[in-house]
Amino acid sequence: MESRQRRQDPQTLQNLLRAAYQQLLERQPYQHEKTGELEKIEQDFLRGRIGIKRLVRQIGGSRLYRQLFFSAGCNTRCVEQGFKHFLGRAPASKEEVAAYHDILVHQGLQAMVNAFIDSEEYRHQFGNDHLPHPRQRLSGHPPLAYLLTNQMHRRHELGMQGSPLLHSLAAMEVGIP
């Protein structure tokens, strides 16, 4: 990936960087947030030292990501956000949430980020060369996963906080509409 990235023009790399921030941080970082850690990540990416997959991993492991999505909320919400940011979809089951929640609690945020990025699903959907993005068609997943993913992306577009996703998953388990 790095060799192909080096041949890309600077404007394309800037656009990819902006898209990565939007997908992972849900906004562009403020200038004062770019000093230090994010500044180095940006420089490494724009100079071709790291590829897209490593860019995603490093932004996901940054202090800013931790502050926005881990420190400010509950662990379950952090896991839900991880599905959206790194796989482009809502969790499909309580078991999926539980598996990543366990990684988060016992191994930490970076381990959870790594688990998403190193997953077969990430490899199949995005590989090394593509940024994660919202996915609407989820073949092989139950219909509720499609509905929850749409709900999650719609709530994000409207700027709504919190999410009834886990309530919906729990209701599905016990048959409540």
Each residue's pLDDT tens digit, 116-129: 999 999 999 999 99
Same structural domain, 33 and 117: no
**pTM for the full model?**
0.77
Same structural domain, 131 and 59: no
Closest C-alpha to 56, from 33, 78, 87, 77? 87
DSSP 96: H
Q: How confident is the model at residue 73 (pLDDT cuts 50, 70, 90)?
A: confident
Residue 50 domain boundaries: 2-65
Taking only the tens place, the pLDDT of each residue in 48-62 is: 999 999 999 999 999
Measured between alpha carbons, how far is 111 from 88 in angstroms, rounded to an integer? 18
* Torsion sign across C-alpha atoms 106, 110, 111, 113: positive
Count of domains forming the chain? 2
